Amino acid sequence: MSIPNLLYEEDVYELYVFGHRDAPSNIKSNLEREIMSLSNKGVKHFYVGNNGNFDFLVQTTLNKLANQNPNVKYSIVLSHISETALNGEQEKTVFPEGQELALPKFAVSKRNEWLLKNSSVVIAYVINHSSNSYRIIEKARRKGLKIINLAET
């Protein structure tokens, strides 16, 4: 499921990519196709977290595509600050204002709220309807965001 052409070139569209931390690696080609398609349709900036295999797949895909296409820009949005969270990508990281006030148990949820607030489109990989990822997709749906679920493509 792809989104239609975005209407206004001057608008800056931002996209949040999230999914199950144990997402399979075989979705990488679909992920790459969707990211390039959306970049060509006007998405100017991609946001990704730093938890689990799906975020790692997204980061490596975005890094590859950014090196090939100067229009692909991305940031890794942290839920907390640590040496391992930065993982050598300090120049690409974002730490939302107020995030340091979140209790560790709620840090990922607070970061996800910020991401939904600052995005107009989401790419997700969600198969489990009782997961946190599914709850995020439902929040995005209620907010009226465009949603592409790679599990359904």
DSSP 63-130: HHHHHH-TT--EEEEPSS--HHHHTT-GGGEE--TTGGGS-GGGHHHHHHHHHHHT-SEEEEE---TT
Identify which has the larger pLDDT, 4 or 91: 91
- Give residue 133's pLDDT: 87
Which two structure tokens, joined as six digits, stand for 14? 């931002």
pLDDT digits (tens, 9 = 90+) for 126-150: 998 888 889 999 999 999 998 999 9
Cβ(79)–Cβ(51) below 8 Å: yes
Q: pTM for the whole thing?
A: 0.83
pLDDT digits (tens, 9 = 90+) for 96-116: 999 999 998 999 999 999 999
- Give residue 82's pLDDT: 72
pLDDT digits (tens, 9 = 90+) for 9-42: 334 478 888 888 888 989 999 999 999 888 888 8
- Give residue 5's pLDDT: 34
Residue (of 19, 11, 7) closest to 125 by Cα position:
19
Query: Which domains does the chain carry?
Result: 13-152 (3.40.50.450)
- Using the predicted structure, report yes or no on whether residue 93 has a pLDDT greater than 70: yes
Cβ(21)–Cβ(52) below 8 Å: yes
